[in-house]
Amino acid sequence: MVAPPAGSTTAAPRSGLPWDERHSKGLFHGFIETLQMVLSKPGAAFTVMRREGGLGEPLLFGLIGGSFGFIVYLIYNLAFQSLGMFANRNNPLTHLIGAGIGGIVLIVCAPLFVLIGIFIGSVILHLCLLLLGGAKQSFETTFRVVCFAGGSVNPLLVIPFCGGLIVGVWKIVLYCIGLARAHETDTGRAVLAVFLPLILCCGGVILCAMLFGGIGAMMHNWNP
Amino acid sequence: MRFYYRPLARDELNHELIWLAVSLGSLALAVAWFALRLPWPHCLFLAVTGHPCVTCGATRAAIAFFHLDFWSAWKWNPLVFAALCGLSIFDAYAFAVLVIRAPRLRVVQFTRSEKSFLRLIAVILLLSNWIYLLSRPRGLF
Ligand SMILES: [Zn+2]
């Protein structure tokens, strides 16, 4: 059989999230309890989250939360655009509506977008963890973190106007905590793995911001 | 590091099926995106600094690649070209093993030094790709 990855620890078995008990609790209660736990106590949630057991169960959670959030986001966009708000040329939704693609088609396709997003997001995060030496567990562990973090935070897209910003920031925080706890790696590596794709694409922007911030701080200190 | 072929175990992830489906699904979405002439996201790094980031030119490299214009794809972004070549080889392998139910190729038991070596190679590839993109004429991207 496949040997455990080098550096992995033989940790105590994990009790699992409420989602794993949905057959006894019911789908709705299992989902809500997991969502509440991940959002309010992410450290505890990702410490008890099982690291293996198949992709299907976490994927279902991620798909429910993600599709719900995405569909609400689409409905808000369609509603605001019909009122003439946020109808800018760079918004793909504006183009889709202009191309005669109805909101219904988009809503039907939402789970497909979420599904592909979960897999691609997980593989990017896992590659970054591997590059930084923080991947102490298999790909499945990273996949589970992405599913439970995304599935829990994406429903917050129901918050109008600032929902996207809240979800974006909160998701980054959940990924950092989730990867650190699930892979049992140091938080620094987990944070760097989450930010590595951003640094690779926007590294210069971050460096410039730090440089100008530093210069600004120094000039402030030099002023009498 | 050991390479070997073996049948898929009962509780093992079917990586071949998963990644073949994900890559074909992503390709289908990308084709639909193009067919509908939807806008692609703009590079923030390029907009702010005027210089390309590591992934700049990826979309144009992919378009050239799927039009079988491999030289253009290579020139737009060598790393993306290499990744697309790797993905195509993987997809062909995955399709073949799924159809003929062949044993699966698995790579296991990396030593610490092998892992460090692979990380170093990845960093060198990323950096050399970026240096190449930065050396290209300004205003190209
Ligand atoms: Zn770029």
- Interface ipTM: 0.89
Q: For residue range B31-75, what is the model confidence (pLDDT) as tens digits?
A: 888 887 777 778 888 888 888 988 899 989 999 999 999 999 999
The three-state secondary structure class of A47 is helix
Give the C-alpha separation, B19 to A88, whole Å.
35
Compute how many other C-beta atoms are within 10 angstroms of the C-beta atom of residue B81. Answer: 23
> Cα(B50) to centroid of ligand 1, in Å?
10
B122 shares contact with chain A (CB less than 8 Å): yes
Query: What are the boundaries of each domain within chain A?
Result: 18-222
Of B22, B55, B106, the CB nearest to A200: B55
Q: Are A205 and B59 in contact (CB under 8 A)?
A: no
d(CA A93, CA B38): 9
Cβ–Cβ pairs < 8 A, chains A and B: 78
> Could you tell me if A52 and A138 are in contact, meaning their C-beta atoms sit under 8 angstroms apart?
yes
Domain ranges of chain B: 2-38+53-135
> What's the pLDDT at A80?
77
State pTM to two decimals.
Answer: 0.84
DSSP label at A55? S
Q: How many CB atoms lie within 10 A of CB A44?
A: 13
A6 contacts B54? CB cut-off 8 A = no
Strand partners, B5: B105
**A86/A89 Cα distance (integer angstroms):** 9
**Structure token pair of residue B4:** 């070997």
The percent of residues above 70 in pLDDT, for chain A, comes to 75
Q: Does B55 touch chain A (CB under 8 A)?
A: yes
- The residues facing B105 across adjacent strands are B5
Candidates B4, B38, B43, B108, partner chain A, best to mutate (most A CBs within 10 A): B38
Q: How far is the CA of B38 from the centre of ligand 1 (A)?
A: 18
Length, in residues, of chain B: 141
